[in-house]
Chains A and B, each alone.
Chain A
Amino acid sequence: MISGVRFFDAAAAGYAVAFFALVISRVLRKHRVGQVGTILFAVAFLAQSVGLALRGVALGAFPVTNTYESLVFYGWVFALGYLVLLALGHLSDRIRTEIGIGVGLMAAAFMALASSPLRSPDVVPLVPALRSHWLALHVSLVFVGEGFFTVAFAAGVFYLFASRRSRESRGELLERLDTLAYRAIAIGFPFFTLGGLFFGAIWAKHAWGRYWGWDPKETFMLVTWLVYVLYLHLRIRRDWRGRKAAWIAVLGFLLALFTFAGVNFLIRGLHSYA
Chain B
Amino acid sequence: MLASLRLALILLVLLTIAAILGGVLPQAPITPNAEQIYRAYGVFWHRVITRLGLDDVFHGPGFLGLLGLFALNLSLCTARRARRSIGRVFGRPRHVTPLGSEANTRRMDLHADGDRGTAETVVRDAFRRHGMRHIDRVRSPAGSSDDPSGDLQLVARRWRWGALAPDLLHVGILVILVGALLGVLRQEGTFVVTEWDKGQWRPACSDDVASDDCIPLAYDLRIDDFGAEVYPGSSQVKTFWADLVFLDGDEPIHEGRIAVNRPLSIDGFSFYPWRYGDDVGSASVRLHVVDRARNAVVSEVELRVGETIVVPGTQLWVTAARFYQTFALTDDGEPVDLGAVPGGHSAVLLQVTGIDEDGLPKTYRDLALPFLAESEVVVPQAFLLVDAVVPAFLEIHYARNPGYPVVWWGFVMLMVGLAGAFYFVPSQIRVSIESDAILLCSEGRKTMARTTARLDRIEAVIRLELGSEIERGRTEPEEV
Q: Give residues in A with beta carbon < 8 Å to B.
A: 125-129, 131-132, 134, 179, 182, 186-187, 189-190, 193-194, 197-198, 201-203, 205-216, 219-220, 222-223, 226-227, 229-230, 233-234, 236-238, 263, 267, 269
Contacts and interface: CB of A to CB of B under 8 A. Distances in A.
A213 B238 contact: no
B12 A128 contact: no
A187 B27 contact: no
A150 B398 CA distance: 40
B231 interface: yes
Nearest to A234: B9
B386 interface: no
A206 B263 contact: yes
B266 to A, nearest CB: 14
B415 A267 contact: no
Interface of B: 5, 8-9, 12-13, 15-16, 19-20, 22-24, 27, 29-30, 58, 180, 188, 231, 234, 236-240, 260-263, 270, 272, 274, 397-399, 401, 404, 407-408, 411, 414-415, 418-419, 422-423, 445, 447
| A134, A207, A234, A269 — most chain B CB neighbours (10 Å) | A207
16 contacts: A126-B238, A128-B261, A129-B261, A202-B408, A207-B260, A207-B272, A208-B274, A209-B263, A209-B272, A209-B399, A216-B23, A219-B22, A222-B19, A229-B12, A234-B9, A236-B445
A190 B419 contact: yes
Contacts of A263: 23
B261 A197 contact: no
A209 B397 CA distance: 8
A187 B419 CA distance: 10
A206 B422 contact: no
A233 B236 contact: no
Contacts of A220: 19-20, 23
Contact of A214 (B22, B188, B407, B447): B22
Contacts of A210: 188, 399, 401
A222 B270 CA distance: 26
Given A189-B422, A207-B261, A211-B404, A128 B239 contact: yes
Contact of A131 (B22, B238, B272, B423): B238
A219 B19 contact: yes
Q: Which 3 A-B pairs have the closest CB atoms?
A: A219-B23, A128-B260, A132-B261
B407 A211 contact: yes
A214 B22 CA distance: 8
A193 B270 CA distance: 26
Contact of A227 (B8, B16, B260, B272): B16
A241 to B, nearest CB: 10
